[in-house]
Amino acid sequence: MENSTRLDLYRQMVLIRTFEETILREYHADKAPIWDIGAGLIPGEMHLSAGQEPVAVAVCANLTPDDAVTATHRPHHFAIAHGMSLERLAAEIYGREDGLGRGRGGHMHLFDPSIHFSCSGIIAEGYPPALGQAFAFKSKGSQAVAVAVTGEGAANQGAFHESLNLAAAWRLPVVFVIEDNDWAISVPRSLSTSVASNAERAKAYGIPGERIEDNSLEDIFAAAKRAVDRARSGGGPTLLEVHTLRLWGHFEGDAQGYRPDLDGVAQRDPLPAYEMHLRALGVADDDVIKGAVTEAQARVEAAISFAKSSPIPEPSSATRYVFS
């Protein structure tokens, strides 16, 4: 990997983390003194992606805006890494007219046709539409690929299986990415999944499967490159599983009482680790790092301001957009 790429991906990770930290702050800011999930400027469930930044930035580094990405209930890192406007993302999270879905969707339902981005709150059900995008790309003779993302818990859902088989049978240009953060809410992977690595499941479809350990940005990048290249050149789908980290709770408000590994979590944060790596390589120093953080903060705060000043949807418009 080139150092410029390293730096670029590092900056993206910082941007994502800054975004998630800011949403965290804003989400909780006005729910006090009695914490009420429906209260405040940002209501509803909130699934943040801190700890999983390496997956998103390393995968999306191999994509262009012509490629599709379908994400999950935990979509911000992939949205940002794939190039979504922070302003329109933030505005959607605040439920405003300038949001990607004019406030209709919310944080689990982000649709940005300009970068072929979508997501779904239903486990594994983002996979099938990705097949259709890949099918359309192939039919049009474009070289674009579709990347479909789920968590490791989703790999036990029927849609996962059907999608891998169909994509393989039709040799569709899809890259399936599993973010294994060890947990599906409170259920540990070991209790739910009958196989140690979901990459093994690729064998059930006669396609290549790879597991990337240690949340390693550079390994993910290399594996994703292989997979994207294969898809672009007509070689069909690949399954990648990345062992990543859920740094925070499943959603905000999750006390994580069920989580024995909680103590060691902070030490496994991939961001300081990658920062050290860049320092060791001589790619980054205090200035570069501070610069990345400062720039990220400025961009995110600007997006938040934009969101907060965007109009709240008119109640009378609630039934618009059911049909075109």
The residue ranges that bind ligand TPP (CB under 6 A) are 73-74, 121-123, 150-154, 179, 181, 183-185, 246, 250
Figure out which of the listed residues 159, 271, 283, 289 binds its own copies, where binding follows CB under 8 A: 159
Figure out which of the listed residues 84, 108, 148, 207 binds its own copies, where binding follows CB under 8 A: 207
* Residue 129 C-alpha from the chain's centroid: 16
Are the C-beta atoms of 108 and 101 separated by less than 8 Å? no
Binder of residue 207, out of other proteins, ligand TPP, its own copies, none (CB less than 5 to 8 A by kind): its own copies
What is the three-class DSSP state of 240? strand
Site for its own copies in 139-158 (CB under 8 A): 156-158
164 sits near its own copies (criterion: CB under 8 A): yes
DSSP 132-147: HHHHHHHHHT----EE
Site for Mg ion in 113-152 (CB under 5 A): 151-152
- Computed over its alpha carbons, how large is the radius of gyration of the chain? 19
Cα–Cα distance between 57 and 24 in angstroms, integer? Answer: 20
Residue at 127: amino acid letter: Y
Cα–Cα distance between 282 and 173 in angstroms, integer? Answer: 37
106 sits near other proteins (criterion: CB under 8 A): yes
CB of 302 to ligand TPP, least distance (A): 28
C-alpha distance from residue 253 to each of 31, 37, 155, 282 (Å): 11, 8, 25, 40
CB of 311 to other proteins, least distance (A): 10
* Nearer CB in complex with Mg ion: 216/310: 216
Q: Which residues bind its own copies (CB under 8 A)?
A: 156-162, 164-166, 168-169, 191-196, 200-201, 203-207
- Site for Mg ion, rule CB under 5 A: 151-153, 181, 184
